């Protein structure tokens, strides 16, 4: 007999957890989050518009296109060498910048690809400047997913703070918290040039109403000073954007080591739940932390909400096979308790059809529909509506479609 998973069952349980506010919960947010928010040329929300911040492929193309002359020629040669390197899985802005910085540190006055060490240093700075200009987007003037997730976070009295771990360098979460006048702590203390304070990051002594925002790959507004990493608060500081292997060297182990340790500490805390959204699970450093912590602490859980099908979300699926406390929720099915199966709707409980529409897109007759919370926008709306009991669906035919789905089974 073929196994199936009923999304109603799992989303009812999750909705209860979200609304109660008693469980220790965290979010892991990847690049798919701002990619899901689309705007038109005037900056207004538009489902057919351009992403608020482009994905890695577009970011790579735009960052490289910003170079000129000898720098552009050098990067073109670097890309060709990376494409010929069997050890490089994919050529993107991260691998390009890593190679540039290797050459910067190794060459001195010698030249490779027409540039010496200082020339490659200039390439790295110009790439980071281009990245900073692209990922430095502001929130749309209309309310969007970031505002809604902050509304959920700040709308419930909690015994434990919500902890947000994000690989993104943008300041969208910061904007959303400040627009809502919701307090948060990001590891920095001070007023003139806030400095990173690893002792406070490792502890848990701030009030629970202060959310934690951990930028585990760095951020716009971070810069190096004589006393270490400081936060300038502006978008013009881009020295530390985009991860590369050098971040994990001893010379720059702070603040990254403290932030990664914070992620591990969160998962080692009993009865903790980490919800992931917009994250591909292709970051080996983060996946190693998750795997180790879940192996040590079977009482913690990770729910991974993935945009694609199970077939296209293989890194997350493989982790779910090895760790039963890691669950994957994809558009066509899930891996729960190590069991991979397609979605199968069951008979809806009373007054459930409207709630189901917050996580399920109904199809036509013969088309069962699909699970939608892999979309960051839908995920944030689901969280924001977790305490709501009255819903108004648009268009109104959605309920009829859902009932048609039930009748077609």
Among 179-183, 366-370, 384-388, the range of highest mean pLDDT: 179-183
Mean pLDDT of 94-100: 85
Query: What's phi and psi for 260, nearest 5 deg?
Result: -65, -35
CB 304 within 8 A of CB 331: no
Whether 235 maps to a domain, the answer reads no
Pair 259, 215: CB distance under 8 Å = yes
The answer on pLDDT for 396 being more than 90 is no
CA distances from 253 to 61, 170, 185, 260, 322 (A): 29, 21, 20, 10, 29
360 found inside a domain: no
Count CB-CB contacts under 10 A for residue 188. Answer: 21
Q: Distance between CA atoms of 62 and 270, rounded to whole angstroms? A: 44
Interatomic CA distance for residues 146 and 160, integer angstroms: 21
pLDDT band at 239 (very low <50, low <70, confident <90, very high): low
Taking the C-alpha atoms of residue 36 and residue 250, their distance in angstroms, rounded to an integer, is 35
Residue 85 lies in a domain: yes
Residue 77 gets which letter from DSSP?
A: H
pLDDT of 397 reads: 35
- The pLDDT value given to residue 393: 47
CA angle (389 as vertex; 407, 163 as ends), nearest 5: 110
DSSP-assigned letter for residue 247: G
Whether 130 maps to a domain, the answer reads yes
For residue 409, the model assigns a pLDDT of: 35
> Mind listing the pLDDT tens digit for each residue in 211-229?
999 998 888 888 777 777 8
Say how far apart CA 235 and CA 370 lie, in whole Å: 38
Mean pLDDT of 295-312: 95
User: How many domains are there within the chain?
Assistant: 1
Express each pLDDT in 195-216 by its tens digit: 887 888 887 778 888 999 999 8
pLDDT over 50 (residue 119): yes
Round to whole Å and give the CA distance between 48 and 38: 7
Structure token pair of residue 379: 């995920």
Question: Per-residue DSSP letters for 146-187?
Answer: HHHHHHHHHTS--SS--EEEE---SSHHHHHHHHTT--EE-S
Q: What is the pLDDT at residue 233?
A: 66
Query: In the predicted model, what is the mean pLDDT of residues 92-96?
Result: 83
CA dihedral 193, 194, 196, 202 (to 10 degrees): 170
Q: Residue 128: what pLDDT? A: 84
Which residue range(s) make up the domain with 92?
56-135
Token pair listed for 188: 């920095």
87: pLDDT strictly greater than 90 = no
Query: What pLDDT, on a 0 to 100 scale, did the predictor assign at position 381?
Result: 94
Give residue 181's pLDDT. 94
The count of other CB atoms within 10 Å of the CB of residue 69 is 8
Among 176, 134, 247, which residue's Cα sits nearest to residue 27? Answer: 176
Instruction: Give the C-alpha separation, 153 to 155, whole Å.
Output: 6
The pLDDT value recorded for residue 28 is 97
Query: What percentage of the chain has pLDDT greater than the value 90?
Result: 44
CA distance readout (Å), 86 to 89, 192, 320, 383: 7, 47, 28, 42
Average of per-residue pLDDT across 7-11: 93
* Contact between 64 and 72 (Cβ < 8 Å): yes
Claim: this prediction has a pTM higher than 0.85:
yes
Question: What does the block give as tokens for 160?
Answer: 């434990």
**C-alpha angle with apex 387: 384 to 391, nearest 5 degrees?**
80
Instruction: Reply yes or no on whether the pLDDT at 92 is more than 60.
Output: yes
**Is residue 112 in a domain?**
yes
What letters, b where the CB count within 10 A reaches 16 and e where it falls short, cover 191-229?
eeebbbbbeebeeeeeeeeebbbbbbbbbbbbbeeeeeb
Q: Which of 66, 64, 58 is nearest to 78 (CA)?
A: 64
Does residue 98 form part of some domain? yes
pLDDT at residue 187 in the model: 86
Q: Span 348-354, mean pLDDT?
A: 81
Residue 362, in any domain of the structure:
no
In a domain, 283, yes or no: no
């Amino acid at each position: 007999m073929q196994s199936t998973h009923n999304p109603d069952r799992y989303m009812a349980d999750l909705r209860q957890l979200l609304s109660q506010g008693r469980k220790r919960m965290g979010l892991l947010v990847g690049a798919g989050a701002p990619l899901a928010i689309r705007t038109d040329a005037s900056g207004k929300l538009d489902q057919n518009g351009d992403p608020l911040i482009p994905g890695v492929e577009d970011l790579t193309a735009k960052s490289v296109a910003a170079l000129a002359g000898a720098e552009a020629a050098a990067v073109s040669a670097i890309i060709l060498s990376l494409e010929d390197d069997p050890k490089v899985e994919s050529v993107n802005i991260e691998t390009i910048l890593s190679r540039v910085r290797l050459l910067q540190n190794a060459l001195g006055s010698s030249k490779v690809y027409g540039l010496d060490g200082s020339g490659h240093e200039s390439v790295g700075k110009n790439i980071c400047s281009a990245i900073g200009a692209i990922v430095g987007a502001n929130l749309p003037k209309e309310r969007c997913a970031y505002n809604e997730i902050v509304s959920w976070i700040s709308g419930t009295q909690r015994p434990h703070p919500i902890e947000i771990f994000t690989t993104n360098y943008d300041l969208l979460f910061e904007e959303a918290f400040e627009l809502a006048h919701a307090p948060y702590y990001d590891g920095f203390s001070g007023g003139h040039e806030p400095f990173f304070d690893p002792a406070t990051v490792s502890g848990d002594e701030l009030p629970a109403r202060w959310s934690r925002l951990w930028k585990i790959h760095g951020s716009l507004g971070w810069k190096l000073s004589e006393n270490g990493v400081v936060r300038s608060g502006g978008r013009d500081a881009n020295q530390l954007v985009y991860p590369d292997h050098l971040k994990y060297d001893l010379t720059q182990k702070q603040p990254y080591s403290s932030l990664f340790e914070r992620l591990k500490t969160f998962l080692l805390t009993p009865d903790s739940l980490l919800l992931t959204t917009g994250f591909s699970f292709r970051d080996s450093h983060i996946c190693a932390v998750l795997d180790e912590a879940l192996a040590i602490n079977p009482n913690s859980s990770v729910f991974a909400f993935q945009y694609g099908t199970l077939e296209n979300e293989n890194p997350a699926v493989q982790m779910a096979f090895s760790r039963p406390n890691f669950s994957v929720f994809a558009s066509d099915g899930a891996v729960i308790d190590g069991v991979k199966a397609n979605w199968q709707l069951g008979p809806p409980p009373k007054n459930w059809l409207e709630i189901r529409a917050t996580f399920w897109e109904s199809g036509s007759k013969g088309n069962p529909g699909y699970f939608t919370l892999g979309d960051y926008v839908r995920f944030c709306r689901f969280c924001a509506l977790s305490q709501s009991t009255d819903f108004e669906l648009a268009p109104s035919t959605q309920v009829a479609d859902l009932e048609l789905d039930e009748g077609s089974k």
